[in-house]
Chain A
Amino acid sequence: MSLFLSILAAVALFALLYFVLKRPLPMAIIAGVVVLLGINIQWIKPALESVGTGLGTNTVLGIAAIMMLVLLFLKVPVFIAVLGGSLIYFLFNPGINQIIFGQKAVTGSESASLLAIPFFVCAGTFMNYAGVTSRIMTFCSAVTGRLPGGLAQVNVLLSTLMGGLSGSNLADAAMEAKMLVPEMEKQGFSKEFSSVVTAASAMITPLIPPGIAMILYGCIADVSIGKLFMSGITVGGTLCIAMMVLVHFISIKRGYKPIRNTKMTGKEFWDCLRPALLPLCLPIIIIGGIRLGVFTATEAGAVAILYSVVLGLVYRELTFKGILQACKETVCTTGGIMLIVSAASVFSWVLTKERIPQQLTEFIVSICPNKYAFLIAVNIFVLIVGMFIEGNATMIVLVPLLAPIAAQYGINEIQFAMIYIFNNAIGALSPPMGTLMFVTCSVTGCKTKTFIKEAVPFYILLFVVLMLFTFCPPVTTGIVQLTYGSV
C-alpha cells in the first residue's frame, strides 16, 4: 500500500476518534500513529527482527503464548487475543513470510464442513421464533408430570429435547430461566434449586446432536461428524437420565410435588404429543439423513433451517420480523465463532511450524505410563482450562495437540472427542468463568454463592458420569458400532 493511502487512513481514524467520538487528543494521535505503523510495518521490521534474533525462536514463542493469555484476560475479544499472540511470532521471527498470516486468516474458516455451524445456529434461532418451545414443553410435562419434582423434571427433559433442535447451551439456559424458573418458584421450588437445575440441564444441549462443539471437533480433528452425532445420542441421553434420577431423589427428600397425581388418559397424552410431533421429527431427519448418505452434516443444517421455517409457517407464529431477527442473531454469532476459527488456524500454523504437537506428544508419552493415566490427565487439564476460557476457542488450539497423542495411546477417536466435549461442557457450568452459571443467575436473580452451594450434588454427578465415559468406552462408542458397523 502506498504511503499516501496509509497517511489518509491514519488521518481518517484520527478524525473519527477526535471529531466524531470526542476522544482525547493524545489517544487520537497515538491511534493515527498505530495505523501508520501497522500499514507500513516494513519501517520497523528490521529492528523487530534483530530483537527477535537476539531472543531466539523459543523465547519469542514463549512471549507469544504469554501475550495471548494476558490478552485473553484483558477483556479483548478472543479472536483478537489469539491473533495478537500469533502476531508477536510473525513480527519478531526473521525469515517468516508475513503473508501466511493473511492467508491463514482468510482461508482458515472457509470450509464446507464448518458451514454447518452457521446453519445449525440459524435453525436453532428460527425454532425459537417458530413457537416450537412451548409445544415441546407441553409434551415434556405430559411425560414427567407424575414424577416427584415435576417441573424440575420438565426442565431437564426440555433441555435434552431442545438440544436436538438448537445447539446453543446459553440460549437454552436463558430461555428456561425466563420461562420455567418463575413457574417453579410459584410451585414451591427454591430459587437456587431452580436455577441450578436450569443451568445444569442446559449443559446437555451441546452433547445432543446437532451440537456446535461436535461439528467443530469433527472439522478440527477430521472425525466423522455423523458418528459424533450418533455418539451424542447416548452421551446426552445418559446424562439426561442421570440428572433426572438425581432430581428425583432431591425432590423426594425436600418434598417437591409432582405436577399432577392422576394418570393421563391416552387421548389427553395424544393431545400433548401431537403438537410436538413435527419438531421432534427433526433430529431423526438430521441423523437419519446423514447416516443414509442423503446429505452431509452441512446440508443437514440447511435442511433444518428450511424445516424450521416451514414449521413456523404451519404454526403461524413466524413473522417476517422474526425471520429478520433470527438472521441478525445468526450473523452475529457465526461471525464471532468463525473468526475465532480463523484466528486459531493462524496460531495452529505457528504451532505446527515449530513442531510443538510432536514435541508435546513425545513428552506426554514419556511421562504417562498408560492410556488411563493420560485420560485422567486430559480430564483435569481440559476441565481447568474450560473453567477459565470459552470452550470452542480452546478446542481449536488444544484438539490438534491432544488428539494425536490420544491416537498414539490407541484411544478411540469418538470416545476421546466425547470426553473432550463433555469436559468443555462442565467448564461452562463451574466457577469462576462458567458462562451458563452467569447467564442463569443474571436472569433468575440467584446469587452465585448460593448457586455453587446448591450445585454441589450436580458436580458430583457430572464427575461420576465423566468417569463412566472415561473408563467405559462402550457408552460412547457402542451406538456408533451398532449403526455404522465400525468405529
Chain B
Amino acid sequence: MKKKTWVKVLCNLDMIVASLALVILTFVTAVGVFKRYVLKDPILWQEEVSAFCQVWMIYLGASVGFRAGSHVAIEMLVDSLPEKAQKIIGYIIDMIVLFVLIFLCVKCQAYIEQVFGRSARPTPILRIPYTLIYGISPFGCVLMIVSYFVSKYAPEFTKSIELPEKVNPDEEVDA
C-alpha cells in the first residue's frame, strides 16, 4: 500500500509542484497587498517570486492538463468521420503535436541558453538564476509529450487525476 502512494505521488509530481506554486503565488500576492497598503512596507521580492511561480505553474499545469483532458480542442468534425479515418487522422495528429512540442522545446531551450545561460544572470534581489525560472518551459514540453501519449494510449495511468466535474462537450446527446 505504501509503495502505491509513492508511485501516485511520483506520477503526479508535476501537479503537486504546480499546485504548490499556485498556493505560494496566492499567499505572496495577498500578503503583498497587506504589507504595501496597511504597513506601507512593500515586499520587494514579490515580483520575482510571482514570475517564478507563474512560469512553473503554467508549464507544469499544461502537462497535467493533457492528462486531465482539459485542453480546449474542437472535436466535432473528427468525431463524425468513420472509425478508420479517425484512426489515421489520430496518428497524423500525434505526429503534429509531437513535432510542435519538440520544436517548442528546442527553441525555448535555445532562447534560455542564449539570453540567460551564458551570462548566468540571477534575479536582482533573491538571486534566483533565470535559467531555473524559465528552464521549466523546455522541461514542461517534454512532460507534455509524455502526458499526451500516456493519456491517449494508456488512460488507466491517468485515472487518479480525473476531474470530478469534467464536462465533455463531445458527448453528443442526439444518438
A: which residues have CB within 8 A of B? 1, 13, 16-17, 20-23, 27, 30-31, 34-35, 37-39, 41, 71-80, 83-84, 87, 98-99, 101-103, 105-106, 109-110, 112, 115, 118-119, 122, 170-171, 174-175, 294-295, 298-299, 301-303, 305-306, 324-325, 327-336, 338-340, 342, 388-390, 393, 432-433, 435, 438-439, 441-443, 445-449
Q: How many contacts A-B (CB < 8 Å)?
A: 246
Q: How far is the CB of B111 from chain A (nearest CB, A)?
A: 4
Scoring A37, A39, A331 by chain B CB atoms within 10 A of each residue's CB, the highest score goes to: A331
Residue numbers in A under 8 Å from B51 (CB-CB):
110
Give Cα A71–Cα B73 distance, bound, in whole angstroms.
10
Contact B134 A83 (CB under 8 A): no
Residue numbers in A under 8 Å from B30 (CB-CB):
299, 302-303, 305-306
Give Cα A294–Cα B169 distance, bound, in whole angstroms.
40
Given contacts A102-B111, A174-B167, A442-B173, contact A338 B22 (CB under 8 A): no
**Using a Cβ–Cβ cut-off of 8 Å, how many residues does chain B contribute to the interface with A?**
83
Identify B64's interface contact among A332, A433, A448, CB under 8 A: A332
Contact A106 B173 (CB under 8 A): no
Closest B residue to A170 by beta carbon equals B167
Counting CB contacts under 8 A, is B37 at the interface?
A: yes
Give Cα A174–Cα B70 distance, bound, in whole angstroms.
15
Known A-B contacts: A39-B106, A80-B97, A336-B70. Give 4 more (CB < 8 A): A73-B77, A74-B78, A335-B57, A336-B62
Interface string of B55-87 (1 = CB under 8 A from A): 101111111111010111111111100000000
Identify A101's interface contact among B55, B57, B59, B107, CB under 8 A: B107
Residue numbers in A under 8 Å from B70 (CB-CB):
332-333, 335-336
Give Cα A112–Cα B52 distance, bound, in whole angstroms.
12
Contact B22 A122 (CB under 8 A): yes
Closest A residue to B14 by beta carbon equals A331
Scoring B93, B99, B170 by chain A CB atoms within 10 A of each residue's CB, the highest score goes to: B99
Q: Interface residues of B: mostly helix, strand, loop or mixed?
A: helix
Residue numbers in A under 8 Å from B149 (CB-CB):
16-17, 21
Interface string of B136-152 (1 = CB under 8 A from A): 01000000011001100
Q: How far is the CB of B168 from chain A (nearest CB, A)?
A: 6
Given contacts A38-B102, A332-B64, contact A103 B111 (CB under 8 A): yes
Q: List 30 A-B contacts (CB under 8 A).
A: A13-B98, A73-B74, A74-B78, A76-B96, A77-B72, A83-B100, A84-B96, A87-B100, A99-B111, A99-B114, A102-B109, A102-B110, A103-B115, A105-B104, A106-B137, A112-B47, A170-B167, A174-B167, A328-B64, A331-B18, A332-B61, A335-B58, A335-B61, A336-B65, A336-B70, A339-B65, A389-B74, A442-B169, A446-B173, A448-B172
Q: How far is the CB of A328 from chain B (nearest CB, A)?
A: 6
Give Cα A387–Cα B114 distance, bound, in whole angstroms.
42
Give Cα A325–Cα B68 distance, bound, in whole angstroms.
12
Counting CB contacts under 8 A, is B123 at the interface?
A: no
Contact B174 A328 (CB under 8 A): no
Given contacts A328-B163, A338-B58, contact A433 B104 (CB under 8 A): no
Q: How far is the CB of B51 from chain A (nearest CB, A)?
A: 6
Give Cα A142–Cα B78 distance, bound, in whole angstroms.
47
